[in-house]
Structure 1
């Protein structure tokens, strides 16, 4: 039995690594949760297993897997959303990147950037995030399409 990926982020560099592993993950609006009392934002996401993809290999189609992954961000003071239909819990979103930057008030903005100009912004006191694979990988229909990968496979 394979052990899944488990990562923590406590600074910008750590968050960049988590962002890379979560690139092209898909989720639905109903898999987000914010608990203001606990100051915790959590989501479940279907992560594409890039580390299993075998870039440049001829058998990429056999290495296309996703895995359910839990992510959470601590010390969240505020959550805002742009271009996300919050009333449609089954609306699918594709995560492109996670970026962080300092706000004028000294807090940190962590942006979860999705396709179609959708963004969830978490205002936090500091970077404290984690992700953990849950369960077993499952076969994906195909790998996400990126120009850089297409050039490597020719």
Structure 2
């Protein structure tokens, strides 16, 4: 019995010092409270959304670098409360319906656990992945 209690105490001590990835209602949180994502202002983010909505509505084909940027926008919206705002939800749905398949092929992404895709070549997750890497989304600095 003594060993069981000792083992339990050791586990509690070890796990109490570990910080894990988490997600608040707005964005992903990394280890030790560090934000996950590429820093961007709300104005820059909105400008990118507007630009890509216009281009996608014309059924334009994009190059891989543009797809990477579009995926970051998609992931940022899907992993936050922005999805509840019509403007962002429109981008999210247009991208998901019209482009996700092409993006996966273009970025050489493979289907992974949780139905997300991962492109090793571009080190980016495609899909709402709560524990995605810092390269897979944006961190909007002045989000409401």
TM-score by length of 2: 0.30
Is the radius of gyration larger for structure 1 or structure 2? 2
Q: Which has the higher helix share?
A: 2
Q: Which has the higher strand share?
A: 1
TM-score by length of 1: 0.29
